[in-house]
Amino acid sequence: MADIEHIQYVRKPVDAVYAALSTQEGLGAVWTEKLVVKPEVGFINEFDFSDNYDTKFRNVELTPPTRILWECVQSDPEWIGTSVSFDLETRNDMTAVTLRHMGWREVTEFYRFCNYNWGQFLYSLKLYLETGKGQPYQQRQF
């Protein structure tokens, strides 16, 4: 199995970062403008990337303000059964965000593409929190 792992440093308090990663408003500004998200354990968040809300993650763990864990229940076949976690830690005047996409069955072209795009996700998160404007899917150029 393979995992993707990235870290980003954001000049905002950990509570603000947690809110951006667990709410419809935050994820809408960072990842995709079309989504249905509730910060409730067991809720299945739905994300639309021009695929009719085909990407769905169950909230497995929500531990404010330090950890979020999702399990993919619907998406590209390579994502189904994988997990995405966000671990947040205060470091001086910043929040360290460690993103892990765990449980890939193998390293494929899609894995490599997603690895790059998770890095872009964290950059969008940083932009959103530090400048007020992220780069969700609908505003990116691929």
**Residue entry with tokens 């959103």:** 128
Average pLDDT, integer, range 21-50: 97
d(CA 79, CA 71): 9
The span from the CA of 107 to the CA of 15, in Å, is: 34
Read off the pLDDT band of 140 (50, 70, 90).
confident
Query: Encoding tokens for residue 34?
Result: 């079309």
Which structural domains are found in the chain, ordered by start?
Answer: 2-137 (3.30.530.20)
pLDDT at 141: 82
| Angle at CA of residue 78, ends 137 and 43, nearest 5° | 65
Beta-ladder partners of 83:
71, 102
Asked if residue 41 has pLDDT above 90, the reply is yes
Mean pLDDT computed over every residue of the chain: 97
What CA–CA distance (Å, rounded) separates 27 from 20? 6
Token reading at 64: 């404010």
Q: Does residue 134 contact residue 128 with C-beta atoms inside 8 Å?
A: yes
**Of 104, 72, 101, nearest to 85 (Cα)?**
101
**pTM score:** 0.96
> Does the pLDDT value for residue 142 go beyond 80?
no
Rounded CA separation 55/32 (Å):
11
